[in-house]
A and B are shown apart, each in its own frame.
Chain A
């Protein structure tokens, strides 16, 4: 398989290993509207930062490890997904930690 899938595969693995956390507590995917309202505004700000950084040459992406699909402002598709995947993983972690701490408190 081509190395160009690397960045996407890393993001896919992050999503895959955090799936079980959904089943602790009230979940994240089960509150889709709350999820969108937490992730979307932050993602837009960070995407703007990213676009400026790319335009200013602060960082670039290695064409060997990305699909090459570019969004407006030369943003790689993977980079946009990053700002959804990582926040979702963090929310799932926070959801699970809260559930575990609450359960211990009730005992």
Chain B
């Protein structure tokens, strides 16, 4: 239950991506309604896909519960996965926006 292995890096990743935009990139992504709407849609698809990969009955990915918060919702998804997903997708969208012609 230490959360050191996954919870802490997941929070750091989210903060790092936000800091990247606010200090270096300045793309304005966070002010675009299309970004937030896209994130809601991505979240909607993350639940079934991630839910499938992490279901405890037949997991594709197996977590060391000593390295997570232990909170798994919805289904058996470790909540850290949502931070991980936010950081991954936001970072890619930021680099995409940065190249806006």
Chain A interfacial positions (CB closer than 8 Å to B): 6-7, 10, 14, 34-35, 37-39, 41-42, 45-46, 49, 53, 56-62, 64-66, 83, 86-87, 89-91, 93-94, 97-98, 101
Contacts and interface: CB of A to CB of B under 8 A. Distances in A.
User: What DSSP secondary structure best describes chain B's contact surface?
Assistant: helix
Interface of B: 5-6, 9, 13, 33-35, 37-38, 41-42, 45, 49, 52-53, 58-64, 67, 85, 88-89, 91-93, 95-96, 99
Contact of B60 (A53, A65, A87, A90): A65
Given A37-B99, A86-B85, 10 more contacts: A37-B95, A38-B96, A57-B64, A59-B61, A65-B58, A87-B88, A93-B38, A93-B42, A94-B93, A101-B33
Contacts of B52: 10
B93 A61 contact: no
A26 to B, nearest CB: 9
- Taking chain A's interface residues, is the majority helix, strand, or loop, or is none over half, making it mixed? helix
Given A59-B62, A62-B59, A34 B96 contact: yes
26 contacts: A10-B60, A14-B45, A14-B49, A35-B96, A42-B91, A49-B13, A58-B5, A59-B62, A59-B67, A60-B64, A61-B60, A61-B62, A62-B59, A62-B60, A62-B61, A62-B62, A65-B60, A89-B45, A90-B89, A90-B93, A91-B93, A97-B34, A97-B37, A98-B34, A101-B34, A101-B37
